[in-house]
Amino acid sequence: MYNFIIQSYSTYKGLFYWLNWPGYISGVLLQPFATVIMFAVLGRFTSNPDIVRAYALGIAVMGMAFILIGGITQSYSRERGLGATQFIFVSTANRLVNFLARMVLHYPNAALSFICGLLAAWLILELDFGTVAWNGFLIAALVLIFSLTAFGQLLGVLSVAVRDWIGIQGIANGLLLILSGAIIPVTAFPGFIQEFARLLPVTNGLFALKAAFTGAAFSAVSGDILREGITGLAYLAIAYTGFRVFEAWVKRTGTLERDAI
Amino acid sequence: MNQITIIWPTILKEWKAQTMDTGHIYKYLGDAARSAALAWIVYQSGALETLAFVAVGVALISIWTGILTLGGWSLESELYGKTLDFTLISRSPISIILFSKNLAQALYEIPTGVVSFVTALLVVREIPQIANVASLSFSLVLALGGMVVIGFFFSALVVLVGGRAGFFMGIMPFVAVLSGFILPVWQLPVGLEVLARLIPSSWAMDAVWVSIGGIESWWVVVQSWGISILVSAGWFIATYYICVAVEKRIRITGTLSAY
């Protein structure tokens, strides 16, 4: 447990670029506010402010995705870029502990970003919280953050392999924005895309979140929450497998310090 | 003339530093997704008279985010990799180098803007009506110029604070709104409109709006162009002198990498 705590702290403190006051305030606190304002003025422009209110939850969730995916992927890339990954790979550190430690302290950032997004929606769009079924809403939000964190881990492994976290997080955020139902309803897509969308993080959790927001009982949203949790676990398992495959690959080919992978 | 001999090689250098790798494709796709989402809202609202403006706006947002994120990233990399030190010991003013880097970034982001524009049109499945293409084109050039000088200002800030990563994330959407890329700034609340009028692109976007809807008075268009140019010049001159002061301080204190 002690190693887990130390590794969580050191990977976060040492590898998270945005952990400075200007960067943190800008990314975690201001960014969700600014995004809500951007969509709100678009609603105003199209003479239909109500339509944006319907997207408020999705916009707040995308704020979480942005900070989580960006934070985790950059940490992986930076570790390799700084030449620190090799020390992990030659050590006897428990790989699973090391892998899980990389995501722990990013989790609260997402929660904070989500709260800021909702606060902005409440202040700017006058989002009504009067009918929220809070137990389902909170559990859905926490599970959604978990699945996004797991997805971030997978993207982190991918970005360390291709050495491009900016591109990876850009396309991942774009994919989630379009297909998860944050803005465009999943039902607007053809059937096979809807099935694919349900395999992504956010999609199921957002169904639950939206339903709980309008007062649906926990029993009504538990299925979607469960599916979101299982989706997160699946991404975590795939990411860990990728992490071990990457280590085995670079050890076998000696390409950790080169651009061969 | 001396300045041009600095600007052109810097643009070339930035071009050589860029590679048409998968990262660019990822950025195209990411920007296209955001454009699709914004266009979807217009489509759902049924306010198709605003379509052309929003389609142009999402293209400019893509260019703007590229200037700020990739330009900022490139500058941070230079600070981190110590290559900016060589710029500083050369005789070229750092202000011109920073301006040229932003100009280059803006030019290289134009394809991203085109992708975003086309995506927005695909989502709404409409061909927008544009009243005066020539006036629109010139207005867009001025909007781009406005973005370059604002990017130049933020680059100077990056050097000033030692390249604090993540600084731009919360600023980008604000500046996009204040620049009039989402809606003409005269539709913003009064307090925000006053702020927006300090951004050169907001004036150019007024001309974009008129060029799309139909020009009733050329005076309005010319006035918007003129003020946009003046405000851009103001930002450029102010940032130039900030850079001179920063450069002088760095040369004396030796604190480029030790903020």
The predicted-structure confidence for B105-149, as pLDDT tens digits, reads as follows: 888 889 889 999 999 888 888 787 888 889 999 999 999 999 999
Distance between first and last Cα of chain A: 33
| pLDDT value of residue B141 | 93
**Domain edges within chain A:** 2-253
Tell me the average pLDDT of chain A.
86
- Give a yes or no: residue B200 inside a domain: yes
For residue B141, the enclosing domain spans 2-6+21-253
Instruction: Give me the sign of the Cα torsion angle A214, A186, B37, A76.
Output: positive
Most confident of A200-204, B160-164, B216-220: A200-204
Q: Sort out which chain A residues have CB atoms less than 8 A from B31's CB and list them.
A: 170, 174
Nearby residues of B80 by Cβ (< 8 Å), 6 or more positions away: B163
- The DSSP output letter for B129 is P
User: What token pair was written down for A161?
Assistant: 């392999």
| pLDDT value of residue B259 | 46
User: What token pair was written down for B25?
Assistant: 């494709």
- pLDDT band at B1, cuts 50/70/90? low
- Overall average pLDDT of the B216-243 stretch: 91
- Overall average pLDDT of the A213-223 stretch: 90
How large a percentage of chain A has pLDDT more than 70? 93
Question: Is residue A232 within 8 Å of A201, Cβ to Cβ?
Answer: yes
Interface residue B181 vs chain A (CB under 8 A): no
Question: What is the interface pTM, i.e. ipTM, of the complex?
Answer: 0.77
Q: Sort out which chain A residues have CB atoms less than 8 A from B42's CB and list them.
A: 42, 46
pLDDT tens column, A2-58: 888 988 888 888 888 888 887 888 888 888 888 887 777 777 676 666 667 678 888
Question: Is residue A193 within 8 Å of A175, Cβ to Cβ?
Answer: no
| pLDDT value of residue A101 | 86
Cross-chain Cβ contact A47/B45 below 8 Å: yes
Total number of domains in chain B = 1
Question: Is residue B120 within 8 Å of B36, Cβ to Cβ?
Answer: yes
| pLDDT value of residue A51 | 67
- Overall average pLDDT of the A85-89 stretch: 82
| Pick from A51, A173, A177: CB nearest B45 | A51
Query: CA A157, A204, A74 angle in degrees (round to 5)?
Result: 25
- Overall average pLDDT of the A67-90 stretch: 85
Report the interhelical angle of A95-104 vs A218-253 (nearest 10°).
130
- The DSSP output letter for A243 is H
Nearest-by-CA chain B residue for A165: B23
Nearby residues of A155 by Cβ (< 8 Å), 6 or more positions away: A69, A72, A73, A168, A169, A172
pLDDT at A261 exceeding the cut of 50: no
pLDDT tens column, B31-89: 888 888 888 888 877 776 678 888 888 899 888 888 877 666 666 666 666 777 777 77
User: What token pair was written down for B44?
Assistant: 């759902």
